[in-house]
Every structure is written in structure tokens, then in C-alpha cells.
Amino acid sequence: MIELEDIQSTQDEAFARAQQSPVLVVAARQSAGRGRLGRRWHTAPRAVAASLAVRPAGWKPGEFPRLSLVAALAGRVALGEDLACKWPNDLVRAGTKIAGLLLEVAGDLVVIGLGVNLWWPDAPVGFGSLFENDPGRDAGIDLAVRWCDDLLARIARGPERWGREEYRNACSTVGRDIRWLPEGTGVVRDIDEQGRLVVETAKGDLRLSSGEVWEIR
């Protein structure tokens, strides 16, 4: 594990140190953290960012996107099963975002990031924190290590045992209305074996990957 206090991006640092993979990079603060589709990651006063660089043995590149969902399941183990998985890359409590995940790929290398709002007394609308009071710096390190250990164990099980049933039961997106580009709308009915949304529309069921979905209501 590489433990840092301040860093621009744990994702970038994990990529830079990937020759040692698997390697976990953990930081208390990021100045240039990012989310899915290049969105800026909003950081709480007490937070932790962790990125795991790994070459997943037994996984094909086409199966890598599923690892974002696997990482969310590992996040629930580390952070608490009162959190729900908001497909494809958030962990939420009562509709507020507590943690986010980011998966980036370069060849056979996967870097999976986890950002957690540990304590945020004046969080903006839509965001929340894991703890009501400041848990101190070490809490984030401990959670990151637990997340990493569980995630590596899940990856070792292989893509056929990624945890579809577990994810489906923990997913708050099932049953929700969604929109996708350019002008699609429907209701999420299931999560398929590849981790895609099964969406009921007026023209029949569709299966959508994370890059296609625009908004979940």
C-alpha cells in the first residue's frame, strides 16, 4: 500500500506505480479527483480516496466494466450494508451519495478508484457522509484496506462469479425510471449477467451499458 496525505489523483498515481500491481494508493485529499465521464469529484472535509491497480487474471477486456459493480459490492462490505448500490458507480444512503467508484483501463491493467465522504457537516444537496462526527484520519485508511482486500478476493473468483444476485439485491436503480441518449426512456427491471441494465420500454426490453445512460430518476 502507498499511503499519501495530499495528491492530485490516486488514479494517476496508481497507473504510475502499476509495475508493482496489484498496488493500492490511498490519500486523505485529492486536488484533481475525477468521476465517471470526466466529472469533478466533490470532496468532503474528511474523506478518503483509494485506487487499486490490478491485472485481473482470468478476466477478458470485455468483462472489465463489470468490475465497477464488483467494487461497489466490496464497498458495501467495507462501509456498511445500509448503503445501496446506485448503478453503475455510486454508493448511496437514503438517496444521498456517500461514495463513488471509477474504473479506468489501459490494456490488461485496470485501475479501480473509491472515493468516500467520511464526514461532511454542510454537505451540498445530493451528497452525504458515512459518519455523523469526524472519525479521524485513520478511519479512512482502514476502510480503504478492507475494501481492497474484499475486492481482490472477489476478482479472484472470476467473471462468472462476480456477484450478480448480490448486486441486484443491493441495487437501488432497479425499479427506477431512467433516460439515455439520445432520447430513450424506460424503467429498470433487472441487472443482467454482464452487469448491464435490463430496461422495459414501450418497444420492448433493452440492455444498456453504463456509457449509454444519462440520468436515473
CATH class of 173-216: mainly beta
The domain locations on the chain are 2-169, 173-216
Nearest to 26 by CA among 143, 132, 133: 143
Nearest to 43 by CA among 57, 53, 32: 32
Residue 182's pLDDT is 75
**DSSP strand pairing (23-30 vs 2-7):** parallel
Query: pLDDT of 32-83, one tens digit each?
Result: 666 554 555 667 899 999 999 999 999 999 999 999 999 999 999 999 999 9
Q: Quote the CA–CA distance of 135 and 27 in Å, as a whole number.
A: 15
Residue 216's pLDDT is 63
**173-199 core/surface letters (b: 16 or more CB in 10 A; e: else):** bbeeebebeeebebebebbeeebbbbb
Q: Quote the CA–CA distance of 187 and 109 in Å, as a whole number.
A: 34
The verdict on domain 2-169 having CATH code 3.30.930.10 is: yes
Looking at per-residue pLDDT, the higher value among 179 and 116 belongs to: 116
* All cell numbers assigned to 28: 486523505
Give the angle 85-91-94 at the CA atoms, nearest 5°: 90
Residue 132's pLDDT is 96
Overall pTM surpassing 0.85 (yes/no): yes
